[in-house]
Amino acid sequence: MAETHENVVKKLGKIKGYQQQFRTVFGTDVNLPGIAEAIAAYERTVVSTNSAFDKYVLGDANAMDETAVRGMALFKGKARCILCHNGPNFTDNQFHNLGVPQAGPMKEDLGRFYVTRQERDKGAFKTPTLRSIAETAPYMHDGVFKTLEEVVDFLDLGGGQNPNAVNTHAKHAFMADYYDQKVEPNPNLSPFLKALGLS
């Protein structure tokens, strides 16, 4: 997160343990395709099933506490999170520009634009799954937010502004009209997100 491919290869290549593991597993020095393969192998081991949310939707009314249930209502209703975080993995698998602040060594990360070269994709990043979200800090593509509460606060303010915020869907999904903190405070949402985890 918040790093260039070249720097990641250099950094990992200096760590003796990674040098040894790459030679053992891949028969090569540390390289980008090997890093991608290792991450993919790890991700295949992360399986989120039978969470408190799963139990709740299957009929166990006691699986989520009252705060998490209120958070679920907010998630599906007024906050409109479900517009992008939907389906069994809570992602639309689409790319959106939320104006996430840039962190790390890159001056500007253009995200999906690097793949499509379409102006509208500048600053757009794939909607992540919310499964096991409480276990996967830091958050956003560059790890700029350390807690779920920081993410919710950022979205409550309508996301951020950047020169490439061209995705009008993202801008309108989080407008203050739809998420009135005085009526339904942020803490309701975080317990619901935590209920999507492996607890």
Token pair for residue 85?
């975080």
Of all residues in the chain, the percent with pLDDT exceeding 70 is 80
C-alpha dist (Å) from residue 96 to 120, 122, 195: 10, 9, 25
pLDDT digits (tens, 9 = 90+) for 129-160: 888 888 889 999 989 999 988 988 888 887 88
User: Where residue 181 falls among pLDDT bands split at 50, 70, 90?
Assistant: very low
The residue ranking higher by pLDDT, 191 or 119, is: 119
Q: For residue 139, what are the β-bridge partners?
A: 145
The residue ranking higher by pLDDT, 69 or 161, is: 69
Q: What b/e sequence results for 32-45 when a residue is b if at least 16 CB atoms lie within 10 Å of its CB, and e otherwise?
A: eebbeebeeeeeee
pTM: 0.70
Token pair for residue 182?
């005085």
pLDDT digits (tens, 9 = 90+) for 87-108: 988 999 999 898 888 887 777 8
pLDDT of res. 4: 80
- Average model confidence (pLDDT) for the chain? 81
Residue 18 has pLDDT above 80, yes or no: yes
Amino acid code (one letter) for 106 = M
User: Where residue 179 falls among pLDDT bands split at 50, 70, 90?
Assistant: very low
pLDDT of res. 23: 96
Of all residues in the chain, the percent with pLDDT exceeding 90 is 30
User: Mean of the pLDDT values across residues 110-138?
Assistant: 88
The residue ranking higher by pLDDT, 22 or 161, is: 22
Residue 48 has pLDDT above 90, yes or no: no
pLDDT of res. 186: 53
pLDDT of res. 107: 79
Residue 13 has pLDDT above 80, yes or no: yes
